[in-house]
Amino acid sequence: MTSDAPRTAPGSLYLVATPIGNLGDISARAAQTLRDVDFIAAEDTRVTRKLLEHLNIKKPLVSYYEHNRRESGEKIKDRILSGENCALVTDAGVPGISDPGEDLVRLCFETDIAMTIIPGPCAAVSALSLSGLPSGRFTFEGFLSTSRKSRFTHLDELKTEKRTMVFYEAPHKLQRTLADMLTAFGDRRVSISREMTKIYEQTIRCSISEAISHFEQTPPRGEFVLVIEGAPDAPTPAKDISEAIATANAHINNGMSTKDAIKKAAEEAAIPKNTLYNAMMKTDK
């Protein structure tokens, strides 16, 4: 990847996922990429330096974080266009996810700079896997705003979200976030993971109110990932059920099989066929 020969072609940006806690989770490909690039853009150079020391890698580091992303991003872009290869890393996990790396990716995309992802650990997906909540469909919501008004606007928009929701949160804001979620969502199931892959890794699965009680007794420590149950299905009005039952019985009286009658009546009423079936079984008793 590197060479001492003069360069005329643009270099590339490598998005390198790094461990979320346990340094042993660094992949061989990620380590080799960090060895091969010309320089590394890091969210916190102190954190990345520890990783490089663990890997016995010496490489120039440049700072790229929230408050210098515009100025630093332009400099990084110019170095890549001059032929250098850059690895972008965040403090932990996949760069560009809930961190300023997304701006550098956008800048390189707009400049037609080649980019490659070196995948690896991700706190959001890891916590979702541990949660026991539905994972077939989920939404990642990142960090809530520190502004109370913005927080409630965000949470209010998610009241009817049926997919499992994943949030990041810092320990000093955890209690307030749980209280706000209880107000917005009601007492839903939640899985809360902290210090994943580290010595004191812990995941608790309970209701939001139980989580609040737990952390009143046990002060929050470490970085947290909250996995929240999605909104329940709205109950079907009794009037709709009774009308659907009457429609299904009419189809049956006209010679349709019970199975097909229930399916057709459920589709016509826009209700789940299992809901209609169960209601008809109760009516027959």
Whether 16 and 117 map to the same domain: the answer is yes
Confidence class for position 220, pLDDT limits 50, 70, 90: very high
- Where a domain ends, among 91, 121, 151? 121
Report helix, strand or coil for 115: strand
Q: Work out how many domains the chain is built from and give that number.
A: 3
pLDDT value at 7 more than 80: no
Whether 95 and 170 map to the same domain: the answer is no
Whether 117 and 16 map to the same domain: the answer is yes
Per the CB < 8 A criterion, the answer to whether 164 and 134 are in contact is yes
Please give the average per-residue pLDDT across 197-222, as a whole number. Answer: 95
pLDDT value at 2 more than 60: no
Q: What is the residue range of 66's domain?
A: 12-121
- Tally of CB atoms within 10 A around 266: 19
Q: Phi, psi (5° rounding) for residue 204?
A: -115, 140
- Tally of CB atoms within 10 A around 264: 15
- Where a domain ends, among 104, 121, 138? 121
Please give the average per-residue pLDDT across 64-87, as a whole number. Answer: 94
How many Å apart are CA 269 and CA 277, to the nearest integer? 13
Q: Within a domain: residue 105?
A: yes
Q: Within a domain: residue 177?
A: yes
Highest mean pLDDT among 8-22, 166-180, 237-251, 269-283: 166-180
pLDDT value at 237 more than 60: yes
Q: Quote the DSSP letter at residue 25.
A: G
- Where a domain ends, among 87, 103, 121? 121
Whether 105 and 18 map to the same domain: the answer is yes
Whether 116 and 132 map to the same domain: the answer is no
Q: Which of 94-108, 212-226, 266-280 has the lowest mean pLDDT?
A: 266-280
pLDDT value at 1 more than 70: no
Q: Which of 107-121, 125-139, 227-241 has the lowest mean pLDDT?
A: 227-241
Please give the average per-residue pLDDT across 11-32, as a whole number. Answer: 96
pLDDT value at 239 more than 90: no
Tell the residue number behind the tokens 């009774």, with chain if given.
Answer: 242
Q: What is the pLDDT of residues 78-118, one digit of tens each?
A: 999 999 999 999 999 999 998 889 999 999 999 999 999 99
pLDDT value at 233 more than 80: no
Q: Within a domain: residue 27?
A: yes
- Give me the pLDDT at residue 279, please: 85
Contacts of 11 (CB under 8 A, 6+ apart): 38, 79, 80, 81, 82, 83, 84, 85, 86, 113
How many Å apart are CA 145 and CA 154, to the nearest integer? 8
Q: Which helix (H) or strand (E) holds 141?
A: strand 138-143
pLDDT value at 52 more than 90: yes
Whether 145 and 89 map to the same domain: the answer is no
Per the CB < 8 A criterion, the answer to whether 184 and 239 are in contact is no
Per the CB < 8 A criterion, the answer to whether 40 and 101 are in contact is no
